C-alpha cells in the first residue's frame, strides 16, 4: 500500500450518535496517524460535530440538511476545490445522494467511496440505481458479507463491492471487571439472579418486541433471571407499554442511556440481541470483548460474528421460543461456555478499529 499523503472528505448527515457515527469517529482517529488529512462535513451542532469539536478535528458544519439540499451539495464541491480532496467518503444514504448532486449539479470530479451499513436492498427508484452505479462511485464498502450479498444484485460493476467489517476499540474494555456489581447494586438484583441484557438504541429494527416475548416465555418457567434493556430510543415508550401489558415489569429493567457501558457490560451473564435487521452488530463485538456469551437472531451480518454453538447461539428472526431455549441452554451446562468464550476471543482480532481503518485506507489508495 502506498504511503503517499491523501486528503479525505468524510460526509455524514445524521443529527444523532449511533453505530455509523461511532465507526466514522474510529476511522478518523486511526487515519490521523496514517499520512492522511481528513475533513468531516456534518450537521451543525449534531452529535458528530460536538465530538469533533471536543477532539479538535477538522469539522465543517452545515446549518441545515434537507432531503434534497443543493446548497449542501455545493458545499461538498467547494470543500473539494479548497482542500484539493482526493476521496469523498460518504457514511450514510443522504450523504451519498449529496455527493452525487455535487457531481451532477455542480460539476465535482472527486471519486466517491460509499459505506453501506443497512440490511436491505437498494431502493428500486431511478435515482438510487443512478447514484450507486455512477462512474465516480469507485468503491462500495459493505460492513458485512451479508450486506454485500444484499447490495450486489443492483450494482452493475460488482468489482467495486468490498467487505470491510466494522470494528471496535478493544482498549475501551481493558481491565473490564465482572465483579464491580454496578447493575446489581443500583437496581437491587440478588447475587444468585442471572442477568441478561442488550445494549442498543430502542429502535424498530432492534425488534425489542421479540426481546420481551422471549422474557415472557422464561418468566412462565419461573427461572431466576433478570433482564436489562440498556439504552433509549424512539420506541422506548412503546416497549415499556408492551412490557406492562404482559405484566413483566418485575422481570425487565430499563436503564436509559448509560455512559458506563465498559463497566456494566461485563456484569451480564448473557447478551440477548433480537434484531430484525442488522448491518453487522458491533454491540455483539463489545459483548465478545467482555467475554459475555451471546444469544442472537440471524439478522444481517450477525452470523458472521455469532457462529452457532461456536461463538454463541443463533435463532431465526422473531423466534422467541428458540431464543428462550438458547438462554436456558447457555446456563444449563449443555454448552461449553469456556470454549465458546475462547472462540469469541480468537474471532475478535478481525473486528478491531485498527483492522477496519487499514482496509479502508487500502480501498482509498486502490482508486487513486
Residue spans of alpha helices (H) in the chain: 19-31, 47-54, 70-83, 93-104, 126-132, 145-151, 182-187, 208-220, 236-245, 261-264, 282-289, 320-332, 337-348, 353-367
Q: Which residues of the chain does CATH 3.40.50.2000 include?
A: 6-167+352-367, 170-348
Residue 164 in contact with residue 133, Cβ under 8 Å? no
Question: What confidence score (pLDDT) does residue 66 get?
Answer: 74
76: its cell numbers: 461538498
The residue written with cell numbers 470494528 in the block is: 167
The residue written with cell numbers 437472531 in the block is: 297
Question: What confidence score (pLDDT) does residue 174 get?
Answer: 81
Residue 121 in contact with residue 151, Cβ under 8 Å? yes
If residue 248 lies in a helix (H) or strand (E), which one and from where to where? none
Compute CA distances 22 → 27, 93, 223, 283, 318, whole Å.
9, 16, 36, 12, 27
CATH of domain 170-348: 3.40.50.2000
The residue written with cell numbers 467511496 in the block is: 113
Residue numbers of the chain with a pLDDT score lower than 70: 1-2
Residue 287 in contact with residue 351, Cβ under 8 Å? no
**Integer Cα distance of 77 and 95 in angstroms:** 13
Compute CA distances 50 → 44, 45, 199, whole Å.
9, 6, 23
Task: Classify burial at 88, counting beta carbons within 10 Å of its beta carbon; exposed 0-12, middle 13-18, buried 19 or more.
Answer: buried
**For residue 21, how many C-alpha atoms fall within 13 Å in the half-sphere facing its CB?**
17
Residue 92 in contact with residue 12, Cβ under 8 Å? yes
**Integer Cα distance of 306 and 311 in angstroms:** 5
Running DSSP on this structure, what letter comes out for residue 122? P
CATH of domain 6-167+352-367: 3.40.50.2000
Cα angle for residues 356, 361, 363 (degrees, 5° grid) = 100
Q: Distance between terminal CA atoms of the chain? A: 12
Question: What confidence score (pLDDT) does residue 2 get?
Answer: 64
Amino acid at each position: 500500500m502506498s504511503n503517499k499523503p491523501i486528503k479525505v472528505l468524510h460526509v455524514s448527515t445524521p443529527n444523532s450518535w449511533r453505530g455509523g457515527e461511532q465507526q466514522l469517529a474510529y476511522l478518523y482517529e486511526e487515519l490521523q496517524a496514517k499520512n492522511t488529512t481528513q475533513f468531516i462535513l456534518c450537521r451543525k451542532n449534531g452529535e458528530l460535530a460536538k465530538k469533533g469539536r471536543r477532539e479538535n478535528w477538522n469539522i465543517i458544519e452545515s446549518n441545515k440538511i434537507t432531503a434534497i439540499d443543493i446548497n449542501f451539495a455545493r458545499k461538498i464541491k467547494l470543500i473539494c476545490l479548497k482542500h484539493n480532496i482526493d476521496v469523498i467518503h460518504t457514511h450514510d444514504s443522504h450523504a451519498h445522494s449529496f455527493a452525487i448532486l455535487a457531481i451532477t449539479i455542480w460539476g465535482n470530479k472527486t471519486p466517491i467511496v460509499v459505506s453501506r451499513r443497512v440490511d436491505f436492498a437498494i431502493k428500486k427508484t431511478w435515482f438510487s440505481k443512478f447514484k450507486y452505479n455512477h462512474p465516480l462511485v469507485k468503491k462500495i464498502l459493505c460492513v458485512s458479507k451479508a450486506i454485500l450479498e444484499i447490495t450486489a444484485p443492483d450494482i452493475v460493476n460488482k468489482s467495486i463491492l468490498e467487505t470491510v467489517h466494522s470494528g471496535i476499540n478493544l482498549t475501551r474494555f481493558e481491565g473490564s471487571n465482572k465483579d464491580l456489581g454496578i447493575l446489581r447494586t443500583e437496581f437491587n438484583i440478588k447475587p444468585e439472579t442471572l442477568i441478561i441484557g442488550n445494549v442498543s438504541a430502542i429502535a424498530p429494527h432492534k425488534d425489542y418486541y421479540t426481546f420481551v416475548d422471549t422474557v415472557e416465555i422464561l418468566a412462565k418457567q419461573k427461572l431466576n433471571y433478570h433482564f436489562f434493556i440498556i439504552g433509549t430510543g424512539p420506541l422506548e415508550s412503546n416497549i415499556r407499554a408492551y412490557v406492562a401489558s404482559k405484566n413483566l415489569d418485575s422481570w425487565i429493567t430499563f436503564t436509559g442511556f448509560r455512559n458506563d457501558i465498559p463497566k456494566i457490560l461485563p456484569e451480564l451473564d448473557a447478551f440477548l440481541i433480537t434484531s430484525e435487521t442488522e448491518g453487522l452488530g458491533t454491540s455483539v463485538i463489545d459483548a465478545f470483548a467482555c467475554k459475555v456469551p451471546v444469544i442472537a437472531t440471524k439478522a444481517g451480518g450477525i452470523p458472521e460474528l455469532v457462529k452457532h454453538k461456536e461463538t454463541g447461539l443463533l435463532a431465526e428472526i422473531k423466534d422467541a421460543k428458540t431464543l428462550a431455549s438458547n438462554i436456558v441452554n447457555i446456563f444449563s451446562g449443555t454448552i461449553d461456555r469456556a470454549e465458546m468464550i475462547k472462540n469469541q476471543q480468537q474471532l475478535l482480532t478481525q473486528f478491531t478499529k485498527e483492522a477496519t481503518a487499514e482496509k479502508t485506507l487500502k480501498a482509498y489508495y486502490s482508486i487513486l
